[in-house]
Chain A
Amino acid sequence: GENVEQHPSTLSVQEGDSAVIKCTYSDSASNYFPWYKQELGKRPQLIIDIRSNVGEKKDQRIAVTLNKTAKHFSLHITETQPEDSAVYFCAASTPPRNTDKLIFGTGTRLQVFP
């Protein structure tokens, strides 16, 4: 069945360092890949997404890359700040309607130490 694996489960970095979170999806038909940030006790917030017709997308300090052949996609955060500390979830969605269900990874707890 559909599955998204996410690694690592926890990640600790020093402020200013980069952080990378990786996900692998099982359904080769998936073509929409959002990333959500969830702070403790808060709602998941969409921070960046990528569609399968694009290999990379960047928004200020965050970027996402997609390798359709390997069915991998990754989140890159540069110049990390303490406020980046949160749980990050990757997800995948399958056509024909990409507003259909999102299959989520198990999350990565990122801690940024000052």
Chain B
Amino acid sequence: DAGVTQSPTHLIKTRGQQVTLRCSPKSGHDTVSWYQQALGQGPQFIFQYYEEEERQRGNFPDRFSGHQFPNYSSELNVNALWLGDSALYLCASSSSGRDEQFFGPGTRLTVL
């Protein structure tokens, strides 16, 4: 039973570029949440996807967008990258109706 997986592991981009990060939820889970974790900080909620729709959004600009596919996997897209977007991006999966969220290993994004 695979846990939450994310790809790629690491990514280096330059300012102004666009990036796509991917997440596959734990088997049996239908909800995917994305978080940004800056160095030395707690994760910050970006948004959550359920039934292929964005269900809730945190305080992030429209440059951050996402998608959920029929198999429950999800993508996070970030346009017009800033230096400040450098962080660990975590996805967490959960099952609707249950509280627990389980995190993937994250994608370390560096913007130069």
Contact = CB atoms under 8 A, between A and B. Distances in A.
Contact of B42 (A34, A42, A46, A104): A104
Interface stretch (A59-67, A77-85, A94-102): A94-102
Given A43-B90, A43-B105, A44-B90, A103 B45 contact: yes
Given A89-B42, A100-B55, A34 B90 contact: no
B56 interface: yes
B105 A107 contact: no
Size category, B interface? 20 to 34
Interface in B54-94: 55-56, 58, 90, 92, 94
Interface in A39-65: 42-46, 49, 51
Interface of A: 6, 32, 34, 36, 42-46, 49, 51, 89, 91, 93, 97-107
A89 B37 CA distance: 12
A104 B42 CA distance: 6
B103 A43 contact: yes
A43 B99 contact: no
Interface in B16-56: 31, 33, 35, 40-45, 48, 50, 55-56
A95 to B, nearest CB: 10
A91 B96 CA distance: 19
Given A99-B94, A99-B95, A107-B41, A46 B102 contact: yes
